[in-house]
Structure 1
Amino acid sequence: MKKIFTILPALAFMLASVNTFAQGVLKFESENHDFTKVTEGTIATHEFKFKNTGDKPLVISNVQASCGCTTPDWTKEPVMPGKTGFVKAAYNSNGRPGVFNKSITVTSNGTEPTKVLTIKGDVLTRAEAAKNYTPEQKAKSPKLTLTGNSHDFGKVESYRQVIAKFKVKNTGKTDLVISDVKTNCNCVSLQHIPDAIKPNKEATLELSYNPNLLGNRTEVVEIFSNDIVSEPAKVNLKAEVVKTLAPTSIVKEGTTSVPFK
């Protein structure tokens, strides 16, 4: 009986040890990536590939970038032992010239609960980057062409979002990727980033305008893309911005109609 009681704790310890070591292992091919030179206005994207070298399914629960300028994506379904997955980092270089170094924290149920990946590079202004492009690169560049460059909303209510649509055509040789838009008022954004536009194909660009200043407004919107041979395309959004579009109620005061307040 004494031997049995002696064996039971040892058996329990062995089972606990097996359970502890039965775990997924997140093994990246590389945990760092250097984009070197990036042209301002483009989205620099890198895919970190990994393998589950453990003996249990691996699940990534969250991926968090160190700044809002980097958008992560990752394999959402469980990665079985011996199988591979990815963590993708997309850095928006618009308005961010200069050297950057960003981190992406990966949280999983693996043996290491967190892993930190890094991306870095040097964002060149379009003028600086143009000096480094070869004639061959320029010849193969996508080219952003707009079928119209102005939209008039008429009368709109302040802080009430409205949408303008423009047709964009790629008249270049390779896929056109639109990355961002910029205005002085910071009141215009992309409703959604369109998919890459193939050569000689068109797409609809939806601009969301949230007017924040009253009066007759003309907002100049710069559109950034991976077109390396042209300056950023520009469109004008026009509107008469008022406090409210609600009709004024009229009541009679004696024989005179006056606005109801």
Structure 2
Amino acid sequence: MNRKFYFLTFLSLLLAGFSAQAQGELKFEKETHDFGTFAEGVIASYEFVVKNVGDKPVVIAQVQPSCGCTTPEWTKDPIMPGKTGVIKAMYNSNGRPGPFHKSISVISNAATPQAVIFIKGEVGPKDLKTSYTPEQKANSPRLAVGTTSHSFGKLEKGQKAVAKFTIKNTGRQDLVVQGVKSNCNCVTYKVSEPALKPGQQATLELTYIPTMLKEQNEVVTIVSNDIVMPDLKLTLKANVVESLAQKNMLREGNQPVPFR
């Protein structure tokens, strides 16, 4: 009788142990990213890659930065066991000169429900310049682009539009796009590859949300670790008009009614 009791107790504890282990777990490739020094006005961006090393799907419920200067995006779909997701952190350096060190809390249903990752760097002057030797320039990554402008045609004010550019690393070291800056602060970016090997191509997406009416020519500076041309300029063109939805609506009381 006692043997049977002990055996059942042991079996229950063993199964409970297996059940506890059957849970998702997130593991980051790196927990801190250092942007280094870059000019004020740049919107610096980095994608943290995270892998589910557990045996159950993990859903990232919330990503909470420590300040409003950091805007996160993350994988919303469940991260299956063995698969990876990304958490993109964007730091707006406008009006924030000097060093920074920011934390980002990641909340999920993983075995460790809260993880913390960090971004840091230093925001230099807007006209930041650095001197390099001829040898350093010869071995630098080089950012090349097929075309330097994109025309959206007619856009409504506040409408989100995406322009895609093909970029290539024609240098000798890995190329990293570090951020973008524009006078309107209405452009964000995404690169299909976090780092381009020499000779590798990638797609650069610029998301533009116009805030001004009439013909617009937004000059967007692409900041990279190309020390020969660290500030590549692209132009986004659009004829921005008032929202058609607003123009075609009449208000009756508090409810908008479309023209018929």
Gaps of 5+ in 1: 80-84, 247-259
Kept after mapping to 2: 8 A contact 1:179/1:193:
no
Supply the RMSD in Å over aligned alpha carbons. 4.8
Q: Secondary structure at the match of 1:66?
A: strand
Number of residue pairs matched by the alignment: 232
**Distance (whole Å) between structure 1 residues aligned to residue 110 and residue 209 of structure 2:** 42
Q: Give the TM-score of the pair, scaled to structure 1.
A: 0.60
Gaps of 5+ in 2: 246-258
Match of 1:76 in 2: 79
How much does 1:232 deviate? 1.9
Structure 1 residues 144 and 59, CA, compared in 2 at 3 Å: closer, same or farther? same
Higher mean C-alpha deviation, range 92-101 or range 169-178: 92-101
1:19 aligns with 2:15: yes
**Distance (whole Å) between structure 2 residues aligned to residue 91 and residue 185 of structure 1:** 20
Q: Give the TM-score of the pair, scaled to structure 2.
A: 0.60
Structure 1 residues 66 and 21, CA, compared in 2 at 3 Å: closer, same or farther? same
Match for 2:64: what amino acid? S
Q: Identity over aligned residues, as a percent?
A: 31
> Higher Cα Rg: structure 1 or 2?
1
How much does 1:12 deviate? 6.5
**Distance (whole Å) between structure 2 residues aligned to residue 153 and residue 48 of structure 1:** 35
Match of 1:233 in 2: 232
Structure 1 residues 153 and 28, CA, compared in 2 at 3 Å: closer, same or farther? closer
**Distance (whole Å) between structure 2 residues aligned to residue 204 and residue 51 of structure 1:** 29
**Distance (whole Å) between structure 2 residues aligned to residue 51 and residue 19 of structure 1:** 21
How much does 1:109 deviate? 5.3
Q: Secondary structure at the match of 2:16?
A: helix
Higher mean C-alpha deviation, range 139-148 or range 85-94: 85-94
Q: Secondary structure at the match of 2:191?
A: coil
Structure 1 residues 109 and 137, CA, compared in 2 at 3 Å: closer, same or farther? same
1:105 aligns with 2:103: no
Structure 1 residues 9 and 45, CA, compared in 2 at 3 Å: closer, same or farther? same
**Distance (whole Å) between structure 1 residues aligned to residue 144 and residue 50 of structure 2:** 33
Structure 1 residues 204 and 107, CA, compared in 2 at 3 Å: closer, same or farther? closer
